[in-house]
Structure 1
């Protein structure tokens, strides 16, 4: 994990049969969905609805994933989300993906999350409430 990154949230979710591909393991694109769901759960539990109907909200401007071992159905996942210090309009996030009950790291990812004004489509300052909650966030 990146230096200075803090664990801010841990999500648990099942691997669905439809998550697999023709090779019999979770398709590489689905890992991005797991990270997205983790990010949305974190933001919503902080009190910020993830919805285009809101005045502003989070979007990502880049994402990456490194795959270390294939995940197969059935499995329950544990996704740990970390974040760096928030900037004016964004925060860098990192993810570690494990199969529940195992210490083995199956994948790790990253995404830069930007707060966006939904009316203009331009970046907006992170809300003060989010900054205050971020300082108190725990996994």
Structure 2
């Protein structure tokens, strides 16, 4: 890390690009804090879909968010392009902790860093279940 407590791009094994939208800006002319959580969710779920381990309509096991957090370092504003770095910090039997760094344009230091924890549940019963093997295999490629 280049600065204590603030990630750089090299700290993340995978990235997704997200385009900001006009409506993401708030009255202070930067992306509103709640939008950052949408960026986190979009980056992780797009990776899972692209890897073929999540079918949002049919997967028998789904991940539900049980905890989230974010630290903000520098503003992002429309029309910035955001690169979301994703890593897996902890992989349990039924849960996974994702950490996401949001990088504005070509900047090397994160504008914001966040995390969320998914607990995998059976879609029908909503009860905790083990992370499916194919999903676990993909998630290991994102571990730090």
TM norm structure 2: 0.84
Structure 2 vs 1, CA of residues 50 and 22 (structure 1 numbering), >3 Å: closer, same or farther?
A: farther
* Whole-angstrom CA distance in 1 between matches of 2:40 and 2:49: 14
* Whole-angstrom CA distance in 2 between matches of 1:52 and 1:58: 13
Q: In the alignment, does 2:67 pair up with 1:62?
A: yes
Given the alignment, which residue of 80, 86, 89 partners 2:91? 86
- 1:89-136 deviation per Cα after TM superposition (whole angstroms, max 9, x unaligned): 011110111112112321000101111111111111001122223334
Counterparts of residues 44-55 of structure 1 (less than 5 Å) = 44-55=49-60
Contact kept? 2:95, 2:120, Cα under 8 Å: yes
Tell me how large the CA RMSD over aligned residues is.
2.1
Contact kept? 1:52, 1:118, Cα under 8 Å: no
Classify the secondary structure of the residue corresponding to 1:48: coil
Match for residue 125 of structure 1? 130
Contact kept? 1:25, 1:73, Cα under 8 Å: yes
Structure 2 vs 1, CA of residues 8 and 125 (structure 1 numbering), >3 Å: closer, same or farther?
A: farther
* Whole-angstrom CA distance in 1 between matches of 2:140 and 2:109: 29
* Whole-angstrom CA distance in 2 between matches of 1:93 and 1:137: 9
Contact kept? 2:96, 2:119, Cα under 8 Å: yes
Classify the secondary structure of the residue corresponding to 2:119: strand
Contact kept? 2:98, 2:117, Cα under 8 Å: yes
Contact kept? 2:88, 2:142, Cα under 8 Å: no
Number of aligned residue pairs: 135
Match for residue 3 of structure 2? none
Structure 2 unaligned spans of 5+ = 1-5
* Whole-angstrom CA distance in 1 between matches of 2:95 and 2:33: 26
- 1:43-86 deviation per Cα after TM superposition (whole angstroms, max 9, x unaligned): 11221234254321112111111111111111100110110242
Structure 1 unaligned spans of 5+ = none
Given the alignment, which residue of 98, 102, 124 partners 2:107? 102
